[in-house]
Amino acid sequence: MTAFPAYPTTRPRRLRRNPVMRNLVAETSLHMDNLIYPIFVRHGKDDVRPIASMPGQVQWTLDKLGAEIKDIRARGIKAIMPFGIPEHKDPEGSDNLSPNGIMANAIRLIKDTCPDMMVISDICLCDYSSWGHCCIVDPSNHHLLNEPTLRYLAKAAVNHVQAGADMVAPSGMVDGMVASIRHGLNEASFIYTPIMSYAVKYASAFYGPFRDAAECAPKFGDRSTYQMDVRNTKEALKEVSLDVAEGCDIVMVKPAMPCLDIIKSVSDEFEVPVAGFQVSGEYTMIEAAAEKGWLDKKKVALESLWAIRRAGATMIFTYFAKDAAEWLA
């Protein structure tokens, strides 16, 4: 009788033999409830403007936005993050504070069109400032002015929530921003509005296409004095601890794929939900390679989303959300 090797009785390969078995034992799930779709809204009328550096993404004018919101919701997407491109920008980013600014009007339209759509509002200054920075700056030396920026962010948060935003998300990495916004919201009686802090936002080279889309490239310098150094891990954990202590409800790590280790560390160490933002550069790389036939778009995009979830992200901001609605159906 032939003697067979004594293989271990629990070889994992036995659980990989067909798709049904692999799905039964999969440790990581991905559902539409995990995904948030970023969109761009611009001033003007009757204009759907493709974003050259982000294939498949466009800037919508308000008169075109309603139909897009209905389509997004019909696909099963339940949460979005709009970014506004105002007609006029100034050093104070005043459009973002106006009840009739592009973002306030967009939020109202979204909620009027689909009341059950969750609107997570980015309240950063960069989209609205003529400087293209995330803060109020001193025009004489271009230094960040922390206290005026905190007052600005609190006012912007209240403006967005009054328009109908369900959650606010400060993205500027400005010291004290969560505490200032929480105080402003509480003073305006919005005590139940959650804050998602971009607690770990690296000064990443992956943001380039977004700056084209939002028309917010800095007019001088860069953002490395307030966004995080990509080489640091301990600093990320310190930033999260500070924002959690100030009262944020959710923390975000950005960009997601280059920071899976950070998502994992934050998820393990802190008892708050963690979001990962699959940013414009991550999206564009996959789209461009797929267009060349070098990668399978569906397989690579889903693999990247599963990896972000596997690392510990409860939710993912992704420009692939509309595609994922079809892939996950």
201 is catalytic: yes
322 is catalytic: no
CA dihedral 78, 227, 163, 193 (to 10 degrees): 70
Question: What letter would DSSP give residue 62?
Answer: H
Q: Which amino acid is at 110?
A: I
Q: How far apart are CA 177 and CA 149, in angstroms?
A: 8
By DSSP bridging, strand 35-42 and strand 315-317 are parallel
Catalytic position from the list 111, 254, 264, 322? 254
Residues 88-112: b if buried by 16+ CB within 10 A, e if exposed: ebeebbebbbeeebbbbbbbbbbbe
Both tokens of residue 206? 């992956």
Catalytic position from the list 64, 89, 111, 201? 201
Task: Provide the strand spans (E) within the chain.
Answer: 35-42, 48-50, 58-61, 79-85, 118-122, 167-169, 196-201, 250-254, 274-277, 315-317
171 to each of 13, 191, 202, 203, 226, how far by Cα in Å?
44, 20, 11, 12, 11
- Residues serving a catalytic function are 201, 254
